[in-house]
Homo-oligomer: A and B are copies of this chain.
C-alpha cells in the first residue's frame, strides 16, 4: 500500500530465535539446561498480533517454573519455548485496536518474535516512559512492590520497614514507596557494600546492611533497635527468621519470594521463632501480584507521578542480545545485577 501507515510484515518465511528448556536444573541452573533454537514464526490468526520483542524480563519466579512441580505458574515444558514478560513492537496485526507499530507488554518472552492474543497484551506508550520501564518500575516488579507494601503489609505512616533483597527490582522500589508513603524509617539488606551504599545514597533508605558481613539478626537489630513494623521479604531463610524476631506487636510481613532457597535441593531450616507470632499478633502473608491487578490503575497513576516528579528512582541492568538471556537470568539469581534486569533485543 503506497501510504505511510505501517503494514503487516510478511511472515510466511519468518524465523526467530527462542530459548527452550533443555533439561530440568537440579540446584543451580547451568547454561547446559537451556537451548537457543531457531524456529519458524507462525502467522497471527484472527484477534492475534505478531510482536517483535524489544526487551525481555528475567525474574526470580522463573526458577520455580524450571522444576516439574505443581505451582502457581505451570512448569516450563522441556523442548518448548519458555515464557516470560516482554515488551515489543507490533509488526503484523489481525486484531482490532492494536495496530502495526503499537508497542505492547505481553507474556511471551524468551524469544525474538511472538504471536500473541491481543486480549493478552497491553498497549504501552514509549513517550511516557522508556519501553524497558514497562517490565520494571512501571510493570510487574513495580506493582509487586506496591501491592506487597500497601495491600499485603498494610503499611501505615510512621512505621519502620525492613526490605530484604533491597537492591533488586522489587526491593528498591518497595523501600522507596515506603518512604514516599510516610514510613519513619526504612532499612534494606543487600549482598555487597556497594549495593548498600546505593540503597542509602540513591534510593533514600535510612540504613542498609550487607548480609554477608555478619548474622542478619544482629545487623537488623543494630539498624532497628526498637524493632520493625513491616517486613517485605524477597529472600526467606535467615532473613525471615531475623525479621520475625524484630517484628513488633501487630507487625506484618509480606512474603514476596524466597530467592535464598530457590536453588536448594534440600528443605532449608525453617524459622524457629514462629511462636512469637502469637504474643506479638504478627501476620505473615504470602502473595502473588497476579491476584491484585485491580490495583494497577492506582499504581500506574501514583508511581508514574513520582517518576515524572523525580521522586522515585530506578536502575536497570541491561544485557544485550537474545543469546545473553540465560546469562542475564543467572546473573540476576546470583545477585550480580542491580535493579531490574532486562535483555535488550536490537532489531
Q: Which residues of A contact B (CB under 8 A)?
A: 64, 71-72, 236, 240-241, 249, 255-258, 261, 267-288, 291
Contact = CB atoms under 8 A, between A and B. Distances in A.
Contacts of A271: 270-271, 274
A92 to B, nearest CB: 36
Contacts of A287: 278, 281
Contacts of A270: 241, 269-274
Contact of A255 (B72, B277, B285, B286): B277
A277 B281 contact: no
Given A241-B270, A281-B288, 6 more contacts: A72-B280, A269-B270, A281-B285, A281-B286, A281-B287, A281-B291
Contacts of A71: 279
Q: Is the interface of A mostly helix, strand, loop or mixed?
A: loop
A274 B284 contact: yes
28 contacts: A71-B279, A72-B279, A72-B280, A236-B274, A236-B275, A240-B274, A241-B270, A255-B274, A255-B278, A258-B274, A258-B278, A268-B272, A269-B270, A270-B271, A270-B272, A270-B274, A274-B284, A277-B285, A277-B286, A279-B286, A280-B286, A281-B287, A281-B291, A282-B285, A282-B286, A283-B283, A283-B284, A284-B284
A50 B268 CA distance: 56
Contacts of A269: 269-270, 272
Nearest to A236: B275
A268 B272 CA distance: 6
A71 B256 CA distance: 29
Contacts of A272: 267-270
Nearest to A251: B286
Contact of A283 (B261, B274, B280, B285): B285
A275 B261 contact: yes
A78 to B, nearest CB: 21
